[in-house]
Amino acid sequence: MDRAALVERGPCHWELPASGAMKVPVVVCASQTLLNAMDDKALEQAVNVACLPGIVRASYVMPDAHWGYGFPIGGVAAFDAGAGGVVSAGGVGFDVSCGVRCLHTGVQRDAVMAVQTRLADALFAHIPAGLGSTGSINLNAAQMHDMLTGGARWAVSRGWGDEADLDRIEERGQMLHAKPAAVSESARKRQRDEMGTLGSGNHYLEVQEVTQVFDAAAAAAFGIQAGDVMVMIHCGSRGLGHQIGSEFLQRMVAQAPAHGLVLPDRELACAPIDTPLGQEYLGAMRAAINCALANRQILSALVREVFAKWLPAARLPLLYDVSHNTCKVEEHRVDGQARQLHVHRKGATRAFGPGHPDLPVALRPTGQPVLIGGSMGTGSYVLAGMAGGEALAFSSACHGAGRAMSRSQAARQWQGGAVIDELAARGIVIRSPSPRGVAEEAPGAYKDVAAVVDAAEAAGLARKVARLEPLICVKG
């Protein structure tokens, strides 16, 4: 991609006009600094996405974008089934519905610091984390089917949380039209013992302090004030989602010629939405979304159990749960007409603005909470969706800081033990089963999350509400 061809259209808004095989332009939402640091491969992938059939309006790149599989991580694209649009497993990603949920605790920093080490140890002991981690829950065939159909609603029915949680989760905790029958036995087997586990990589559980409030009215609506302690949980559909992604990518590649698809990149394997393969993938992906929602719901229940012992004054209602790595059918206005579109968000967050009917009544005046996770030693953010975001990028925003280097590069540059010691000196307690995993996730391996969030706000994607900084991090 020729960066010189990018045209600045507004604050943190760059456009590469469509040319050649591109059906729509590429729109990059980033500051000049973030754009300069963005790897060429991510931008090339965005151009390839712009070549796919049935794409609508633009191929979008979020400010935290970096190279991914097929789509850039931080890529957003919407497709119209009636115009030959496609669904792409690479446009969703392997960790289907990886996402973040944020819980209030009702206590402030001093209460946590009085038991910080013991609380960290208890969370680490109670919540399985790490590569291949398994928990105490073992699902039989009937339970697996019900979980893949019911999502967080199923988890609540089994005693992990209560009905009030469901109103604060995308899709109210249950992704409809899931097809458990489209989920292979291999995927089910991988997930049988993994419910209620964090996994590895960039997944984590953090106890955080609200250190800064940017929008007092929105913060009040979200029940947030400076000094509050919150809990963020970041994980997804574990082995099941990865298996679904791998299997359908292979099938999509094999069947592409039969559908008349000429792929600009094999990693962009896709299928027309209105084909048996496209519908089967959507059904399996929706089942994986339910798996992720159920998993985060169970993890919330485990966190509540630990807090009940060590901080009995704490109450942990759910602020919100948002997913990344999804494809959802949503109504959006394009050229003045309402259209049903399949919106792919890979490493991107849904960010509905004020008044959206899919938001719970209590949140409609403010807009959707948008949860942006940082790295172990940096801040996370709560943002709110903006009214103009629908027209800018189908109501989408960034999802995190975004990697600045690969995991292997980070492991060569840092030692896990040294990172843990450095963060401990700053008052941040880290617990992890893997020193190498800590090194791979060192704060310096990521972009500046503050710069990413500033760019998202300047671009009109979401506005800043509060910054949170870690006190405890359980890292997979």
For residue 171 the two structure tokens come to: 């899709």
Distance CA 304, CA 314 (A): 9
Catalytic position from the list 66, 234, 344, 399: 399
**Quick one: tokens of 104?**
């209030």
- Distance, in Å, from the CA atom of 133 to the CA atom of 197, rounded to the nearest integer, reads 6
Q: Are 175 and 358 in contact (CB under 8 A)?
A: no
CA 197 to chain centre: 17
Round to whole Å and give the CA distance between 160 and 376.
27
Active site (annotated) includes residue 126: no
Return the CA Rg of the chain: 21
**348: closest CA among 28, 8, 128?**
28
**Residue 172 phi/psi, 5° resolution?**
50, 35
User: Alpha-carbon distance 149 to 168, whole Å?
Assistant: 19
Query: Annotated active-site positions, please?
Result: 399
